[in-house]
Chains A and B, each alone.
Chain A
Amino acid sequence: MTETLPWGTSIAWYLFLAGLAAGAYATSALASFKDFRNTKRLQLIGRIVALVVLAVGLVLLMFDASAGMKNPGRFFYLVSNPTSVMSWGVVILAIFGVIIIVTLIIMLLKKAVPVWLDAIGLLLAFCTAGYTGVLIGVVKTYPFWNTALLPVLFVVSAFSAGMAAVFLGSAFFARKEVEGLGALKRLRLFLPIAETLLIIMLLLVTASANPAAAESVHRLIAGDLALPFWLGLVVIGLAFPFLLELVTIRVKAGSTGAAAIDVAGGAGVLVGGFLLRYLIIFAAVPLVFVL
């Protein structure tokens, strides 16, 4: 049964951009905890990226909700249903958005962002990235989505993408500051491994869940989505940035070489981050009950 899916490319972009915003903010907040003085531009980049991509994502989401676009007042109803993950998401995003803006203003005023504020922001970044996974994770119609692993995978991928975006921006505007991050930078070796393991777990667990989910897995690894899965997600999005980081681990931070690595590897991670959401959305195969 091939049906057109209710959610498509713009939702995939939104899930990616919301996660990216969460990851960029988290990177910025962690940099602030680690070394507040010497990573100011980098932190600023993280918060600006977070704000811009979150705004773009929300605009995409609103345009996808056509009845709301025709009657914008209806968007105020969005927090009406406490059982809807989308309602939770709106609350989370509203608070997260305010925190991004407030911390950005504090930084632009050349003042120190209070640690407690960034700690709350970090929690909301986590919730934002997690909710994008729960949002589609609770949908029973598509068994491939209906797993608790999905939010975990989305959180890891969001952090990875956000960090990549901050390093990418810093390569142009705050090259020297990357040094100040120390061990935080090494997460770029750990995150692709964690993400790869989570993807393997997701495929193995859902493939055995039921026939519809098994078909989703098949479409990804050997079916119509195999090319973007293997070449786009696995090679460009995971293996390339990881190997690049691995072979250049001794390149001195702040050098032109390190900046080029941040740009190339970061671009790969971002491509992978988007494709992960895109592929999961489009690999959805509905439950079959009329047999």
Chain B
Amino acid sequence: MASYGMLIDTTKCVGCYACRVACQMQNSLHVTDSFIHYDEVEKGTFPNVRNEHVPLACMQCKDAPCVSVCPTGASYINADGVVLVNSERCIGCKYCMNACPYHARIQDQDTGVAEKCRFCILADDGSVPDPACVSTCITGARIFGDLSDPNSDISLAIIKKNAKPIAGDLTASKVYYVR
């Protein structure tokens, strides 16, 4: 019984998009589909400006709108707090795609199933490897781990860096941002 979450430090992100490519590879997505997308925000005032890349994907919400609206029960939260989609139950009604404020869901071109980031849980064989986006990140901008363990790397980093969910307490998100 863990509570998996992620920390994304946008001050370390260089905008190389390697996380998106790694995610597409890991999850065998079409080249035009991805679970990760980016918002770009200009920060600061001239001449001290920078272009902030904010990678966005499923926020693994504890109060997940996609789960509460899903009519078939295909969307669910597993024992470790990971929001998952049972692709055998999804009818592709796209209600979850409307309900998710983060636009984290995409419809699989072949199956019509509304898919999204699953923290690479499908690769899980008892051990819990870092998701592909974390292990591939060249600057170490992403940390994955158990939020329920106060001594995990991610729990300590959240406190140290004062990381916060992207939209406050909108959906009790478990992805924390340093910006």
Contact = CB atoms under 8 A, between A and B. Distances in A.
Interface string B84-108: 0001111111110111110100011
Interface residues of B, number: 37
Nearest to A76: B72
A35 to B, nearest CB: 40
A86 interface: yes
Interface in B152-179: 166-168, 170
Contacts of B72: 74, 77-78, 80-81
Instruction: Tell me whether chain A's interface is mostly helix, strand or loop, or mixed.
Output: loop
B69 A74 contact: no
Interface in A85-99: 85-87, 90
B92 A66 contact: yes
Given A3-B103, A7-B94, A84-B95, A289 B167 contact: yes
A67 B41 CA distance: 36
Contacts of B69: 81, 83-86, 138-139
Contact of B112 (A1, A67, A136): A67
Contacts, number: 111
Interface residues of A, number: 38
Contacts of A67: 87, 90-92, 108, 111-114
Max count, chain A CB within 10 A of own CB: residue among B72, B87, B103: B72
Given A7-B94, A66-B92, A74-B89, A80 B111 contact: no
Given A71-B91, A75-B91, A84-B69, 8 more contacts: A64-B93, A68-B92, A80-B89, A81-B69, A86-B93, A87-B71, A139-B69, A290-B166
